Chain A
Amino acid sequence: MKLYEYEARQIFEEYKIPVPKWGLASNAEEALKIAKEISFPVVVKAQVLVGGRGKAGGIKFANNEDELIKVTNSILNLTIKGEKVSKVIISKYLDIKQELFLSLIMDRTARKPLILASREGGIDIEQIAKEDPKKVLRIHVNPLIGLQDFIIRKIEDFFSLKNIKSIVYALYEIFTKYDCELAEINPLGITNNNEIYAIDAKIIIDDSALYRQNKFGERIDRELNEFEMIARETGFSYVEHDGDIGIISNGAGLTMTTMDMVQYYGGRPANFLDIGGGADAEIVYKALLIQLKHPRAKSIFINILGGITRCDEVAKGIIKALNEIKTNKKIVVRMKGTNEEIGKKMLNEVGIYTYDEMEEAAKEVVRT
Chain B
Amino acid sequence: MAILIDNNTKVLVQGITGKQGSFHTKLMLEYGTKILAGVTPGKAGQYVHGVPVFNSVFDALEKFPEINTSIVFVPASFATDAIFEAIEANIKLIVVITERIPMHDAAKFVNYARIKGTIIIGPNCPGVISPPYSKVGIMPAHVFKEGRIGIISRSGTLTYEIAYKISKANLGISTAVGIGGDAIIGTDFIEIYEMFLKDKDTDAIVLIGEIGGDLEERFATYYSSLKNKKPVVAFIAGKSAPEGKRMGHAGAIISMGMGSAKEKIEAFNKVGIKVADKPDEIPKLLYEELKR
Contacts A252-B248, A256-B247, A272-B247; A262 near B240 (Cβ below 8 A): yes
Q: Cα distance A111–B123 when bound, in Å?
A: 13
Interface residues on A, range: 35 or more
Interface flags, B237-257, vs A, CB<8A=1, else 0: 111111001111111100011
**Interface residue B13 (Cβ < 8 Å from any Cβ of A):** no
Contacts A108-B214, A181-B103, A209-B103; A253 near B157 (Cβ below 8 A)? yes
A299 within 8 A of B: no
| CB nearest neighbor in B for A306 | B140
Knowing A207-B246, A257-B161, A306-B140, the reply to whether A108 touches B251 (Cβ < 8 A) is yes
Query: Known: A305-B164, A306-B140, A307-B140. Contact between A253 and B104, CB under 8 A?
Result: no
Pick from B140, B235, B252: contact of A337, CB below 8 A: B140
Given A108-B213, A253-B153, A257-B161, decide whether A143 and B111 contact each other with a Cβ distance below 8 A. yes
Q: Is the CB of B210 within 8 A of A253?
A: yes
The answer to whether B256 and A126 touch across the interface, beta carbons within 8 angstroms, is: yes
Closest to B213 in A: A108
Name the residue in A143, A144, A249 with the highest tally of chain B Cβ atoms < 10 Å from its Cβ: A143
Are A254 and B158 CB-contacts (below 8 A) given A106-B103, A106-B107, A144-B112? Answer: yes
Q: Which residue of B lies closest to A112 (CB)?
A: B107
Give Cα distance in the complex from A179 to B105, angstroms. 9
Chain B residue numbers with a CB within 8 Å of A358 are 161, 279
Knowing A255-B248, A307-B160, the reply to whether A264 touches B278 (Cβ < 8 A) is yes
Task: Provide the bound-state CA to CA distance between A336 and B140, in Å.
Answer: 12
| Contact indicator A253/B111 (Cβ below 8 Å) | no
User: Is B249 within 8 A of A307, CB to CB?
Assistant: no
CB atoms of B160 and A305 under 8 A apart: yes
Q: Pick the contact of B238: A142, A260, A338, A359 (CB < 8 A).
A: A260
A272 lies within 8 A of B248 (CB): yes
Check if A106 sits within 8 Å of B104, measured CB to CB.
Answer: yes
Cβ–Cβ contact A263 & B240, under 8 A: yes
B241, A308: Cβ atoms closer than 8 Å: no
Q: Which of B123-158 contact A (CB under 8 A)?
A: 138-140, 143, 153-158
Known: A250-B157, A252-B247. A111 touches B277 (CB 8 A): no
Q: Please, could you name 16 A-B residue pairs with CB atoms under 8 Å apart, sorted by A?
A: A113-B107, A144-B112, A144-B115, A206-B104, A208-B101, A239-B246, A239-B247, A241-B240, A253-B159, A253-B208, A253-B249, A263-B240, A272-B241, A337-B160, A359-B278, A359-B280
Q: What are the 5 A-B residue pairs with the smallest beta carbon separation, nearest first?
A: A253-B155, A252-B248, A251-B157, A307-B140, A253-B158
